[in-house]
Amino acid sequence: MTEAKTGSGSGNPLPVINEARRLETLADYHATQLSGDPELQRIVHFAAKLCDVPTAIVSLVESERQCFIAREGLEDEETPRSVSFCAHAMLDDELMEIRDATQDDRFAKNALVQGGPQIRFYAGQPLHANDGSPLGALCVIDTKPRPDGLNALQKQGLKVLAEAVMCRMQGHRDALFAAKEIKGKEGQFLTLVDSIPAIAWSTDAEGNFDYFNRRMIEFTGIERADNIDAIHPEDAEAADKAWRHSLTTGEPYEAEHRLRHADGSFRWMMARAIPVRDDTGKIIRWFGSAVDIDAVHKLSDSRDLMARELSHRIKNIFAVVSGLISLTIRKRPDQRELGDELIQTIRALGRAHDFVRPVDGAASDNLRGLLQELFAPYGTGDGARVRVVGDDFGILARSATPLALVFHELATNSAKYGALSVEDGFVELSVSDQDDDLLVLLWEEHGGPPPKTMPTDGFGSRLVEMSVTGQLGGSWERRWSEDGLVVELSLSKKAIAA
């Protein structure tokens, strides 16, 4: 069965491409010099998060290979063109979406589908030069099929991000060309700079602005280069500090700030500058550019707003469920113990959720902070009865829920039967990095009563087993020492650590 490409909407045959001309256009960008470029890396990182996929790539298709100048979640720097999905995507004028590659005749036998990286879902937004030449694609990849594909916001986001990629590549190409032409051809250089869509400027060696291109005047409405006061007041200090640092060190300048438009509004810009040196290495001038990235910022703000709203709704769900349980156990007092346990578990999940997805304030993402939040009911600071020691790690948001379930269960059992059930008992939880893709968490109870009988596997044990082996990619072991219960958890770093 052949899965039709979605997103083009044209229904027309793919265009015939002049390959020689296409390769000449691609070579003009010298885009491989942008490999690892911070701006492109931020774009692919955001694209992966926007589409909730592990992998995002900026791929440029050459004659025999496709090279990845920016990548998230992938080690390879290139693959043969013969297995390239992006070689197909770049030929269209809209997003190419493959919802299940194993069901698409074009790709089902592809080496990237049959073997690593096990591509199942693919969405590629074509990257086209100004003359329409296809250069490659900004793509997102998942190892799982996505029957429903991307939503409208994600598709629009990829389109905006692809435009930002081309702006960066265009800016890079223009900067290289300008640097070459400036030697002895300043007049031609100024004409060229006035023709580009980005803002361009120059200063002397001390950082005194002496030129802005026509785009700057059109954008801000400011006529004189020595009267630039258009940066947003909240951004001016940081931008000036970064610029002074570059003047002092000679390092390239880069800053994001808002710039006042001629209509009075402020738009986000990505500003860059590089020094020009003489034969002795002395800086003699600075040349810079500023690219409008306001659309990307608005998209990010919209996504953050949606995330906060979702987080608020989830917290409300926790509260509603707890309330329903409370109402139920009032009618069924014989189930009060079970109801109270469920309420405490839901509250633990709520604390974990609020730790990584707070409605207000900044989210936290470290393991020790999450554990301290969960164990707060058992004391904090010097009075903490669950003492967390050892290494700390950044954690993924998706690992917070299973971690909360596991340690809430251990703490609850300890409060009922173990060290936390007596006044002088305490628990030490040590976290250690085993340097082999494993985190080992050792739960050791001290000072508790010995178990009257060997506990059997009940619901709590099955819950821990499901969370540890199923969601955290690890294993666990219980044993009883003379001092109390010992639980050793070996968890996968890939499943937990950010």
* Rounded percentage of the chain residues whose pLDDT exceeds 70: 77
* H-state helical runs in 84-196: 86-89, 111-114, 152-181, 186-195
Higher pLDDT, 308 or 478: 478
Specify the fold of 19-173. Beta-Lactamase (3.30.450)
The domain defined by 364-498 carries CATH number 3.40.50.300: no
Q: Distances from the Cα of 12 to the Cαs of 104, 132, 274, 470, in angstroms?
A: 19, 17, 44, 46
Q: What is the mean pLDDT of residues 121-140?
A: 95
Q: Mean pLDDT lowest for which of 230-234, 449-453, 471-475?
A: 449-453
Between 444 and 10, where is the model more confident? 444
The CATH classification number of 182-292 equals: 3.30.450.20
This prediction's pTM: 0.39
Give the pLDDT band of residue 86 (cuts 50, 70, 90): very high
Please write the tens of the pLDDT for every residue from 177-222.
Answer: 877 766 656 666 667 767 777 888 888 999 888 888 888 888 887 7
Least confident of 309-323, 383-397, 459-473: 309-323
**Mean pLDDT computed over 63-90:** 94
C-alpha 82/C-alpha 111 separation (Å) is: 10
Identify the band that residue 407 occupies on the pLDDT scale cut at 50, 70 and 90: confident
pLDDT tens string 315-371: 555 555 555 556 666 667 776 666 666 656 665 555 555 544 443 443 446 788 778
Q: Does the pLDDT value for residue 42 go beyond 80?
A: yes
d(CA 261, CA 292): 11
User: What pLDDT is attached to residue 61?
Assistant: 95
The model's pLDDT over 266-298, given as tens digits with 9 standing for 90+, comes to 888 888 999 999 889 999 999 888 888 887 776
3-class SS letters over 266-298: EEEEEEEEEEEECCCCCEEEEEEEEEECHHHHH
Q: Which residue has the higher pLDDT, 211 or 101?
A: 101
Q: Which of 233-247, 304-318, 379-393, 404-418 has the highest mean pLDDT?
A: 233-247
Q: What's the pLDDT at 211?
A: 81
**DSSP-assigned states of every residue in 6-42:** BS----PPPPP--HHHHHHHHHHHTGGGGTT-HHHHH
